[in-house]
Chain A
Amino acid sequence: MKPYTPEELMAVVISREVRNGETIGIGAASPVPAAGCILAEHLHAPRARIIILGSDEYYPFPAGSSELHFMAQKGELDLFFLSGIQIDRAGNINLHVLGTYDAPSVRLPGAYGSAMLYHMARRVILYRTEHTSRTFVEKVDFVTAAGTVPESAGREGGPSLVVTPRAILAWDRETRGWALASVHPGSTVIDIEENTGFALRIPRPVPMTPRPTPRELRVLRTRVRDKLKKIYPEFAEKKIAPAK
Chain B
Amino acid sequence: MYSMVQAGSMGAPFAAVRGLLGGDLLKHRPDLRVVMNPFQEGDAVVVAPPIRPDVAVFHAARADRLGNAITLGERRDDWMLARAARRVVVTAEEIVEKVLKPGAAGTFLPAIDVDHVVCVPGGAHPAGCTKRYACDRIHLGEYLEAAKDEIAFKAYLEKYVFGPRAHRAYLSRVGFRPRKKRGQDA
Query: Which residues from chain A sit less than 8 Å from chain B, CB to CB?
Result: 49, 51, 60-62, 67, 70-76, 120
Instruction: Tell me whether B151 is interfacial, beta carbon within 8 Å.
Output: no
A70 & B111 in contact (Cβ 8 Å cutoff): no
Instruction: Tell me whether B83 is interfacial, beta carbon within 8 Å.
Output: yes
Q: Which of B6-14, B130-138, B158-166 contacts A (4 or more CB under 8 A)?
A: B6-14
B-side interface size class? 10 to 19
Query: Which residues from chain B sit less than 8 Å from chain A, CB to CB?
Result: 9-12, 79, 83, 102, 108, 110-112
Task: Tell which of A60, A61, A70 touches B10, judged by Cβ atoms closer than 8 Å.
Answer: A70
Residue of A nearest to B8 (CB): A74
Smallest CB separation, B144 vs chain A (Å):
38
B112 & A61 in contact (Cβ 8 Å cutoff): yes
Residue of A nearest to B111 (CB): A60
A73 & B110 in contact (Cβ 8 Å cutoff): no
B11 & A73 in contact (Cβ 8 Å cutoff): yes
Residue from the set A62, A72, A73 with the largest chain B CB neighbour count within 10 Å:
A62
A70 & B11 in contact (Cβ 8 Å cutoff): yes
Task: Tell which of B9, B102, B112 touches A70, judged by Cβ atoms closer than 8 Å.
Answer: B9
Chain A residue numbers with a CB within 8 Å of B108 are 62
Given A62-B79, A62-B102, A73-B10, output 4 extra A-B contacts at Cβ < 8 Å: A60-B112, A67-B83, A70-B11, A74-B11
Chain A residue numbers with a CB within 8 Å of B79 are 62
Chain B residue numbers with a CB within 8 Å of A51 are 112
Chain B residue numbers with a CB within 8 Å of A62 are 79, 102, 108, 110
Residue from the set B12, B102, B108, B112 with the largest chain A CB neighbour count within 10 Å:
B112
Residue of A nearest to B84 (CB): A74
B102 & A73 in contact (Cβ 8 Å cutoff): no
Smallest CB separation, B103 vs chain A (Å):
9
Residue of B nearest to A120 (CB): B11
Separation of A62 and B79 alpha carbons in the complex (Å): 10
Q: Say yes or no: A49-B112 contact (C-beta < 8 A), given A62-B102, A70-B83.
A: yes
Separation of A67 and B83 alpha carbons in the complex (Å): 9
Residue of B nearest to A73 (CB): B11
Smallest CB separation, B53 vs chain A (Å):
13
Separation of A60 and B110 alpha carbons in the complex (Å): 7
* 28 examples of A-B residue contacts, CB within 8 angstroms: A49-B112, A51-B112, A60-B110, A60-B111, A60-B112, A61-B110, A61-B112, A62-B79, A62-B102, A62-B108, A62-B110, A67-B83, A70-B9, A70-B10, A70-B11, A70-B83, A71-B11, A71-B83, A72-B11, A73-B10, A73-B11, A73-B12, A74-B10, A74-B11, A74-B83, A75-B11, A76-B11, A120-B11
Smallest CB separation, A68 vs chain B (Å):
10
Separation of A73 and B10 alpha carbons in the complex (Å): 7
Chain B residue numbers with a CB within 8 Å of A73 are 10-12
Separation of A76 and B112 alpha carbons in the complex (Å): 12
Residue from the set A49, A71, A74, A76 with the largest chain B CB neighbour count within 10 Å:
A74
Residue of A nearest to B109 (CB): A62
Pairs of residues from A and B, 4 with the lowest C-beta to C-beta distance, nearest first: A73-B11, A74-B11, A60-B112, A70-B10
